[in-house]
């Protein structure tokens, strides 16, 4: 369900389809996000911008500003689902589609009480799924990565699997009791089939690229990030598996540009270099981009080979130009290393993008201006800066688990502030405004484009 950037088909449900069909299930993937974008891009495109995510995340804003214009489309979505006579339907849930997903589930449950409905994805956890069980009467919730869990869940729905305690799944019995399965062992990515994108019309997407993954998880433990906890451990595909998948998509879809969706492409530098060498050896003409971590192992030699193998853009999660803030974030690198990595990447002929995160607890005004100085110093090397939104303290992060240590408290409106109030919603908002104004003054391109395909394909 909406909303997400309309660049490319969603990898998560494509990966599920590839896995489930490999196990003998008949599966259809539905991307209603792109249908919503296609219908409203001329009238409400701003709501698909990353900077406007709060309109989807905040229930009050969603109800007042989004639901009024999108309600007719919700009716179309639910009608299409009901007329297709699916036996079960699963929703991929994340922070910007949770409210519209719940709206659709409520309608489906009312119109077809026997339809099996389950949820999964980054936003689904044991605590928050209780709302969906109690208020929407869903049948199951999948916690963590879904391939094996969803397969066993579908087998259970079909009566092929008698056990109720399915690892990684919360089941609702007829009497309303919830059954929590044990924790599921981590998947071995080397055993996964390629994602199946056959249900998607690529002409509808603005980026004209295909999302793929090298790995799941992250080698870092940044205190503001939930991805490390969600994926639990860092795991990778093989170089041959990755390059074979690229060749498959080029052949099947005629698209040769790939967006690597990993937390970082260089979590395993040996794997990255092996993949680069294999692309060059096979003479595969592709383009690719993704996130990298600032790292001394990302040498000028490796960067030049990445460029030769088709890497056109690297996005660094720099976040801050202050060593104090980097240390608080547990980024485990220095400001000096940022300067070196950015310059080496630029000199290798690769576009340099970067994420900046304003408002970390402990960030002083002096630290904020240190970040502005770093951006000024490196201005000529940057292709694009993503100022995003100020820091949000979310579940499954170290900050959330240690609020007292970071001096964080939440007000009744849900906004967080430090105990001394020196860092609060309005301070963060003002600093974010200053950051964007400063980037504009420097002439740095910023933010996520929505409709410029040529720009997106190289960003």
Query: Which pLDDT value is given to residue 174?
Result: 82
Query: pLDDT exceeding 70 applies to what percent of the chain?
Result: 97
pLDDT at residue 450 above 80?
A: no
Taking CB atoms within 8 Å and a gap of at least 24, the contacts of 445-448 are 445/383, 445/384, 445/385, 446/384, 446/385, 446/386, 446/387, 447/49, 447/50, 447/51, 447/386, 447/387, 448/5, 448/49, 448/50, 448/51, 448/386
Task: Say how far apart CA 321 and CA 308 lie, in whole Å.
Answer: 30
Residue 217 has pLDDT above 90, yes or no: no
Please name the residues in contact with 178: beta carbons below 8 A apart, sequence gap of 6 or more. 130, 133, 170, 171, 172
Q: How far apart are CA 78 and CA 104, in angstroms?
A: 6
Predicted local confidence at residue 56, as pLDDT? 94
Q: So what's the pLDDT on residue 344?
A: 98
Residue 266: pLDDT band (50, 70, 90) is very high
Average confidence score pLDDT of the chain: 92
Average pLDDT over residues 365-382: 97
Q: Ranked by mean pLDDT, which of 169-173, 261-265, 348-352 comes out on top?
A: 348-352
> Could you report the per-residue pLDDT of 77-132, keeping only the tens digit for each?
999 999 998 999 999 999 899 999 999 999 999 999 999 999 999 889 888 899 99
The per-residue pLDDT for 451 is: 59
For residue 457, pLDDT over 50 is answered with no
Outline where 254-392 has alpha helix (H).
269-282, 300-308, 323-329, 335-347, 365-377
pLDDT in tens, 226-237: 777 677 778 899
How far is 55 from 32, CA to CA, in rounded Å? 18
pLDDT of residue 190: 86
Residue boundaries of the structural domains of the chain: 11-180, 206-456
Confidence label for 448 from pLDDT (cuts 50, 70 and 90): confident
Q: Are 47 and 63 in contact (CB under 8 A)?
A: no
Task: Give CA torsion, residues 156, 162, 167, 168, to 10 deg.
Answer: 30
Q: What is the mean pLDDT of residues 207-215?
A: 91
pLDDT value for 202: 92
Note the pLDDT tens digit of each residue in 305-323. Answer: 999 999 999 999 999 999 9
Range with the largest mean pLDDT of 43-57, 258-272, 333-347: 333-347
pLDDT of 452 higher than 80: no
Answer whether residue 445 shows pLDDT above 60.
Answer: yes
Higher pLDDT, 187 or 92: 92
Q: What is the pLDDT of residue 459?
A: 35
Measured at the alpha carbon of residue 57, what is the angle toward residues 365 and 184, in degrees to the nearest 5? 100
pLDDT value at 162 more than 80: no
> What is the rounded average pLDDT of the residues 40-48?
93
Question: Looking at beta carbons, which pairs linking 242-246 to residues 24 or more positions away fall under 8 Å?
Answer: 242/212, 242/214, 242/275, 243/275, 243/278, 243/279, 243/282, 243/284, 244/194, 245/194, 245/212, 246/212, 246/279, 246/284, 246/286, 246/288
Q: How confident is the model at residue 456 (pLDDT cuts 50, 70, 90)?
A: very low
Q: Mapping DSSP to helix (H, G, I), strand (E, B) and coil, where does residue 191 land?
A: helix
pLDDT score of 453 more than 70: no
Residue reference for tokens 């003409």: 285
Q: What percent of the chain has pLDDT over 90?
A: 78
Residue 454 has pLDDT above 50, yes or no: no
With respect to CATH, is domain 206-456 assigned 3.40.50.720? no
- For the segment 284-312, what is each residue's pLDDT rounded down to a tens digit? 999 999 999 999 999 999 999 999 999 99
């Amino acid at each position: 369900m909406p909303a997400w950037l309309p660049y490319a088909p969603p990898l998560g449900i494509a990966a599920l389809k590839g896995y489930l069909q490999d196990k003998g299930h008949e599966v259809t993937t539905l991307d209603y996000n792109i249908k919503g974008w296609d219908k409203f891009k001329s009238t409400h495109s701003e709501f698909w911008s990353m900077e406007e995510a709060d309109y989807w995340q905040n229930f009050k804003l969603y109800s007042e500003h989004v639901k009024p214009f999108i309600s007719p489309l919700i009716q179309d979505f639910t009608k299409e689902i009901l007329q297709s006579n699916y036996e079960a339907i699963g929703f991929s849930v994340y922070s910007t589609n949770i409210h519209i997903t719940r709206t659709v589930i409520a309608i489906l449950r009312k119109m077809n009480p026997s339809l099996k409905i389950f949820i999964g994805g980054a936003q689904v956890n044991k605590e928050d799924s209780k709302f969906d069980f109690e208020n929407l009467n869903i049948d199951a919730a999948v916690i963590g990565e879904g391939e094996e869990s969803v397969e066993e869940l579908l087998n259970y729905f079909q009566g092929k699997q008698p056990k109720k305690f399915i690892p990684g799944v919360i089941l609702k019995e007829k009497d309303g009791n919830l059954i929590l399965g044990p924790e599921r062992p981590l998947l071995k990515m080397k055993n996964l089939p390629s994602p199946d994108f056959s249900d998607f019309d690529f002409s509808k997407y603005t980026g004209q690229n295909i999302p793929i993954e090298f790995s799941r998880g992250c080698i870092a433990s940044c205190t503001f990030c939930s991805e490390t906890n969600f994926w639990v451990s860092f795991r990778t595909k093989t170089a041959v598996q990755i390059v074979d998948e690229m060749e498959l998509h080029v052949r099947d879809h005629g698209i040769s540009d790939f967006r690597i969706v990993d937390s970082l492409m260089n979590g395993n530098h040996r794997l990255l270099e092996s993949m680069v060498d294999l692309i060059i050896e096979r003479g595969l003409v592709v383009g690719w981009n993704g996130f990298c971590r600032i790292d001394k192992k990302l040498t000028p030699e490796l960067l030049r080979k990445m460029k030769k193998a088709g890497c056109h853009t690297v996005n660094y999660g720099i976040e801050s130009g202050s060593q104090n803030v980097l240390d608080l974030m547990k980024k485990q690198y220095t400001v000096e290393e940022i300067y070196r990595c950015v310059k080496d990447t630029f000199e290798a002929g690769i576009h340099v993008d970067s994420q900046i995160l304003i408002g970390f607890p402990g960030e002083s005004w002096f630290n904020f201006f240190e970040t502005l100085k770093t951006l000024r110093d490196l201005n000529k090397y940057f292709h694009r800066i993503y100022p995003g939104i100020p820091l949000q303290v979310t579940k499954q992060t170290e900050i959330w688990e240690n609020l007292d240590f970071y001096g964080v408290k939440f007000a009744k409106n849900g906004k967080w502030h430090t105990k001394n109030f020196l860092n609060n919603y309005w301070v963060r908002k003002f600093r974010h405004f200053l950051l964007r104004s400063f980037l504009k003054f420097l002439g740095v391109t910023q933010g996520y484009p929505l409709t410029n395909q040529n720009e997106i394909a190289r960003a």
